[in-house]
Amino acid sequence: MQERYERDKQQIERALLQAIARDEHVLNGLWEVMEYSLLAGGKRIRPVLVLEFCRAAGGQPEAALPAACAVEMLHTYSLIHDDLPCMDDDDLRRGRPTSHVKFGEWKALLAGDALQAEAFRILLCSEMAADRRAACAALLARAAGVQGICGGQYLDLEGEGQSLSQAQLTEIHRRKTCSLLSAACQMGVAAAGGNEAMQEAADRYGQALGMAFQIRDDMLDELGNQGKLGKPVGSDRAEGKTTFLTLYGPERCQALVEQLTAEAKEYAARFDGGGFLSWLADQLAVRES
């Protein structure tokens, strides 16, 4: 399974290089800032999910590469903006200076804006059938906007310094984290022309995986190793954020990660050949970065 994951990642890296190819010399500086964050590596979980759900739904993963690139571009835009001084004000991302630290705030802001727009251009100008392009674009737009990342980030920042309930914290991360992971899974199904039952299972897998991912993230932010994480440890506490770790403690958090991972695997089992999706859920449950 690990070899398959690495093959998917290599395929995605090649596609991202083509997607971000510079076409205007006068804007080389903007392309450089976009490339800095987009091509910085990482686990590529979301685009891998696009490819693997396309495969699980009976499609050819190569046909879903535009959707996979679009998801990663939009994810990268969200990271650039999250790191800005007016948001989470982080200096490190994946072991390197964040975009605004490296290039300046206005360049980082524009690079994020451009990546979001390019995500939809790559997707809508692809060779996928028109109905599949439209379905993927609708899923991505929902995950990006008020119902997803932007709404979640708003609630997250508004809640800083406050004591949040479980329901409030879950609502933040249902939007901020789970929405794009779920969209990636559903876009894979849409790229394959999968049916409604497949879409439902993909959504439920993505929601469970996303919440497990966030709880694990909260644990690592406090208990992890900065060298492995590639970003500062303890930043949530320093910003006065309520996290799943502050609500539940490490033992309860670990139990929840295991419970949600098992739930994700139940939905993966609804697909023929869903073994990779189950394996991936297990790997993310014990990740250290």
Rounded distance between C-alpha atoms, residue 119 and residue 47, angstroms: 12
Q: Which CATH homologous superfamily contains domain 2-285?
A: Farnesyl Diphosphate Synthase (1.10.600.10)
Q: List Cα–Cα distances, 156 to 143, 168, 256, in angstroms.
A: 16, 9, 21
Q: What is the pLDDT of residue 145?
A: 97
What ranges do the domains of the chain cover? 2-285
b/e for 47-79, b at 16 or more Cβ within 10 A?
bbbbbbbbbbbebebebbbbbbbbbbbbbbbbb
Residue 84, classed as helix, strand or coil, is coil
Mean pLDDT by 10 residues, the chain (289 residues): 96 94 78 94 95 97 97 97 92 90 96 96 96 98 97 93 93 97 98 98 98 95 70 68 93 97 98 94 94
Q: What pLDDT, in 10s, does the model give residues 154-196? A: 999 999 888 999 999 999 999 999 999 999 999 999 999 999 9
The 10 Å Cβ neighbour count of residue 218 is 23
Rounded distance between C-alpha atoms, residue 269 and residue 289, angstroms: 26
Residue 147, classed as helix, strand or coil, is coil
Q: What is the pLDDT of residue 24?
A: 66
Q: What is the pLDDT of residue 114?
A: 96
DSSP code, position 62: G
Strands of the chain (E only): list them. 92-93, 96-97
Q: What is the pLDDT of residue 234?
A: 66
pTM of the model: 0.94
Torsion of CA 260, 239, 80, 288, to 10 degrees: -40
Q: Which tokens go with 19?
A: 């997607």
Put residue 146 in one of left, alpha, beta given phi > 0 → left and psi -120 to 50 → alpha: alpha
Q: What pLDDT, in 10s, does the model give residues 103-140? A: 999 999 999 999 999 999 999 999 999 999 999 999 99
Q: What is the pLDDT of residue 224?
A: 67
Distance of CA 52 to the CA centre of its chain: 15
Rounded distance between C-alpha atoms, residue 6 and residue 159, angstroms: 38
Rounded distance between C-alpha atoms, residue 14 and residue 29, angstroms: 22
Rounded distance between C-alpha atoms, residue 77 and residue 156, angstroms: 17
Q: What is the pLDDT of residue 273?
A: 80
Nearest Cα neighbor of 8 from 280, 270, 208, 285 is 280
Q: Which tokens go with 227?
A: 């060298």
Rounded distance between C-alpha atoms, residue 114 and residue 91, angstroms: 21
Q: What is the pLDDT of residue 223?
A: 83
Q: List Cα–Cα distances, 77 to 36, 46, 96, 160, 240, in angstroms.
A: 12, 14, 16, 22, 25
